[in-house]
Amino acid sequence: QDTDEFILPTGANKTRGRFELAFFTIGGCCMTGAAFGALNGLRLGLKETQNMAWSKPRNVQILNMVTRQGALWANTLGSLALLYSAFGVIIEKTRGAEDDLNTVAAGTLTGMLYKSTGRV
């Protein structure tokens, strides 16, 4: 039985395009960044408050570090994913082709733009 599982409109692709995948990429990077940042914040918070007794001020300081680091990493990775996705969509629409060159070019442009604001 070789019938399609889903009914697609006439002329529609069976795979998702770069634009549809951009939302998943950006959201996934934000969530990954938040999780990684929270774990890093917990590590830093425990390290910075190791000489304090377990009390409300220590808990608040650790919690502040967790939320600060989580937001920082989520923002950073989300911004990078947004740039990568935007470059990928623009390159695909400009070239009119879906291939690995678009991915390489989008990654290269994202890295160049991200590093252009930093010092050596």
Per-residue pLDDT tens digits for 23-77: 888 999 999 999 999 999 999 999 998 888 888 989 999 999 999 999 999 999 9
Q: Rounded to the nearest 5 degrees, what angle is found at the Cα of 99, between the Cα atoms of 97 and 103?
A: 110
Question: Do residues 102 and 85 make contact, with C-beta atoms less than 8 angstroms apart?
Answer: no
Kindly report whether the global pTM for this prediction surpasses the value 0.85. no
DSSP state of 55: S
